[in-house]
Chains A and B, each alone.
Chain A
Amino acid sequence: AQSVTQPDIHITVSEGASLELRCNYSYGATPYLFWYVQSPGQGLQLLLKYFSGDTLVQGIKGFEAEFKRSQSSFNLRKPSVHWSDAAEYFCAVVTFSGGYNKLIFGAGTRLAVHP
């Protein structure tokens, strides 16, 4: 069955440090992959998505993600974290199941940023 794993439940980084959030997926075909961010009390905002082509994808707020088929991974990165990046981050994969695009989410990684 298709699944998304985010191995890190919580991550804490210092402001200005680099960040990498891990995401591994299980899907037989070419995956369509997303990263969403959820600030406290807010809905989910799309950060970036990968459908095909260049495996390094640029998103909003200075984030990027790299699709690595050999590792079934789609890790999210940012070179320098800002305090406003503190939020929960969700990786998701689209599967075509039962006649519709089914979005399968990972459990999320909560990011804390120390000043």
Chain B
Amino acid sequence: NAGVTQTPKFQVLKTGQSMTLQCAQDMNHNSMYWYRQDPGMGLRLIYYSASEGTTDKGEVPNGYNVSRLNKREFSLRLESAAPSQTSVYFCASSESVDGDADTQYFGPGTRLTVL
């Protein structure tokens, strides 16, 4: 099992450009998440998907959109990138969002720089 995979690993954008971060999991998990990690702030939830076909906002959704393409894949889109979106982005998955504290498993991350 590959677990949670993310592409690309690194990306540099100019302000105003758009891009999509891809995430896939092979653990047959129902729930998937997108986080951003900034120095000194830990991880903050951007969006999550409780199950295929549903998505909801997390703590910091502004400037992002998501798509739960199927059970395996959950993508994050930046429509018009801003320097404030320079960060490391992590995708995670878990059995469910409302099980007894189901453990979240994380991908390797995408390091995004917006110039």
Q: Do A and B bind each other?
A: yes
Give the residues in chain B near A45, CB-CB below 8 Å.
106
User: Within the assembled complex, what's the spacing in Å between the Cα atoms of A9 and B4?
Assistant: 28
> Interface readout for A19-58 with B: 1 if CB under 8 Å, 0 if not?
0000000000000101010000111111001010000000
Categorize the interface residue count of chain A.
20 to 34
Cβ-defined contact, A101 with B105, below 8 A: no
Bitwise interface map of A from 67 to 96 toward B, beta carbon under 8 Å scored 1, else 0: 000000000000000000000001010101
**Interface assignment of A102: CB less than 8 Å from any CB of chain B:** yes
Contact A99 B106 (CB under 8 A): no
Q: A107, B40: Cβ atoms under 8 Å?
A: yes
User: Are the CB atoms of A101 and B97 closer together than 8 Å?
Assistant: yes
Distance between A42 CB and nearest chain B CB, rounded to angstroms = 6
Indicate if the CB atoms of B94 and A101 lie closer than 8 Å.
Answer: yes
Q: Are B42 and A108 in contact (CB under 8 A)?
A: yes
* A104, B35: Cα distance in complex, Å: 11
A8-B103 Cα distance, complex, nearest whole Å: 25
Please judge, given known A-B contacts A43-B106, A43-B109, A44-B90, whether A101 and B43 are in contact too, CB under 8 Å: no
| Smallest CB separation, B84 vs chain A (Å) | 19
Measured in the bound complex, the distance between the Cα atoms of B90 and A36 in whole Å is 14
* A6 closest partner in B (C-beta): B42
Q: Could you tell me the distance between the alpha carbons of A106 and B41 in the complex, rounded to whole angstroms?
A: 7
Asked if B108 is at the interface (CB within 8 A of a chain A CB), the reply is yes
Residues in A lying within 8 Å of B, measured CB to CB: 4, 9, 32, 34, 36, 41-46, 49, 51, 90, 92, 94, 96, 98-103, 105-108
